[in-house]
Amino acid sequence: MSYLPGKKHPILALWGLPGIILVVLLLVLPTLAARGGMTEKRTIYFGVIPRFNPHVMYEYYQPLMDYLSRKTPYRFELRIGRSYIGTIEDLEKGVTDVAYLGGATYALARHRFGARAIVRPLNSEGRSTYRCCVIVRNDSPVKTIADLKGRSFAYGAYHSTTGSLIPTFMLVEAGVTPADLKTLKNFHNHEEVARAVLKGVYDAGAVKDVVAWKYRGQGLRVIAISEELPTAPIAAGPTLSRDAEKAVTQALLSIRGPEEREALAGLGPELLHGFERARSEDYDFLYEKIVSIPKGCGVRCHSSNPFFRK
C-alpha cells in the first residue's frame, strides 16, 4: 500500500505524533519493568509522636519524608501517632517501620521490644541536647518553681519527656508536689500548654525549649530550666531491615551542605541543624526516672504510674 508524497500516514493523521509516542510507551514500559528495568520503591512508614497539632506536624515533618524518598531506595510515608503510647505500639506491631520518638517514649520502646536508636538531632549549637522549661506569663508574680504552691499547672502529654516526666522531678525537687498545686492538667502537646498559660487559663506549664523560645516574645517567660537531656532519637522498629536502617542513617547524617539545608528549610525547629548517631543506652536513665516517679510507684506498680497509661 503506497501513500502520496506529503501526505501523513493514516495513524499519524488520526492520533498525531504524541499519540504514537504514548502507545509505544504503554507497550514498552511494562516489559522494561518486568525485566527489572523499572521497580517500584518499597514504602517505609515513618511514625512521629504528636508533639504539635496535626497541621504543624505535617508542615514540620513532610519535608523530611520527601528528602528521604529522594536520597534512599525507598518511599517514605508519614504516620502521625494517635498518642505517645500509640506511636510506640505502632512501631512494635509494624504499622510503622521507623519513628521519631521522645526520649522517654524511646526508653519505653527500648525496654518493651528492643527498639534501636539510630540518629538524634543536633541543636543550633551543634550539640545533641535540649532542655525542659517551666513557663509563666510575663505579668505573673511567680518567680520560681517554689512560688507555684497553690497555683495551677499545665503539663504536656502523659508520656512526654519535657512535658511530663522531667517537670515532675523539677517540681518535687523544688518542694512542690501534686498535692501542693491548686489544679493540674495534661494537655495533648507543647503548643497547647503554651497557649493555655499565655491565655491565663493556667498559672504555669512545662514545654520543650524550642517552644519556650518561640513564645518568649509573645508574652511568656521562663522561670526554670532543666539539666541538659539527650535529644529525642529516630528509632528503628522490628520491621525495619538493616539495609533500610543503614540507608536512613546515611541519608540523615549527610544533611550537612547548603543544598540539603535549603531543601529542608521547612523542617521542625528541632531538626534544622542536622543529626548524629545515637546510642540506645543514652536513654536508659529516663526509664529509671519513669519507674521511680516521685509520689508515684516503682517498677512493679505500673498501674498508678501515668507513664504506663495509654
Q: Note the pLDDT tens digit of each residue in 196-206.
A: 999 999 999 99
Alpha-carbon distance 247 to 245, whole Å?
5
Question: Among the listed ranges 4-8, 47-51, 142-146, 178-182, which one has the minimum average pLDDT value?
Answer: 4-8
Cell 531543601 found at: 263
Q: In this structure, are residues 115 and 235 in contact, taking their beta carbons and an 8 Å threshold? A: yes
Indicate the residue type of 95.
Answer: V
Q: Give yes or no for residue 171 having a pLDDT over 50.
A: yes
Question: Among the listed ranges 3-7, 155-159, 243-247, 281-285, which one has the minimum average pLDDT value?
Answer: 3-7
Q: What is the pLDDT of residues 118-168, one digit of tens each?
A: 999 998 889 999 999 999 999 999 999 999 999 999 999 888 999 999 999
Please indicate, yes or no, whether residues 223 and 138 belong to a single structural domain of this protein.
Answer: yes
Alpha-carbon distance 51 to 104, whole Å?
13
Q: What is the pLDDT of residues 62-87, one digit of tens each?
A: 999 999 999 999 999 999 999 999 99
Q: How many domains does the chain have?
A: 2
Please indicate, yes or no, whether residues 178 and 48 belong to a single structural domain of this protein.
Answer: no
Alpha-carbon distance 236 to 241, whole Å?
9
What is the pTM assigned to this prediction?
Answer: 0.78
CB atoms within 10 A of CB 174: 15
Q: What is the pLDDT of residues 244-274, one digit of tens each?
A: 999 999 999 998 766 676 767 778 888 888 8
| Domain extent at residue 76 | 42-128+232-289
Q: Is residue 23 part of a domain?
A: no
Q: Is residue 164 part of a domain?
A: yes
Q: Give yes or no for residue 180 having a pLDDT over 90.
A: yes
Question: Among the listed ranges 90-104, 183-197, 265-279, which one has the minimum average pLDDT value?
Answer: 265-279
Give the pLDDT score at 268. Answer: 81
Average pLDDT on 202-231 reads 95
* C-alpha cell recorded at residue 179: 498535692
Please indicate, yes or no, whether residues 59 and 85 belong to a single structural domain of this protein.
Answer: yes
Alpha-carbon distance 97 to 241, whole Å?
9
CATH for 167: 3.40.190.10
The residue from 176, 207, 227 where one domain ends is 227
Strand partners, 235: 99, 117
> Sheet of 204-208: strands edge to edge?
183-186, 152-155, 204-208, 132-137, 220-225
Please indicate, yes or no, whether residues 74 and 216 belong to a single structural domain of this protein.
Answer: no
Torsional sign, CA 297, 300, 306, 307: positive
Q: Give yes or no for residue 296 having a pLDDT over 90.
A: no
Give the pLDDT score at 137. Answer: 97
Secondary structure E strands in 61-194: 74-80, 98-100, 116-121, 129-130, 132-137, 152-155, 183-186
Residues of the chain by 3-state class (helix, strand, coil), percent to 5: 45, 20, 35
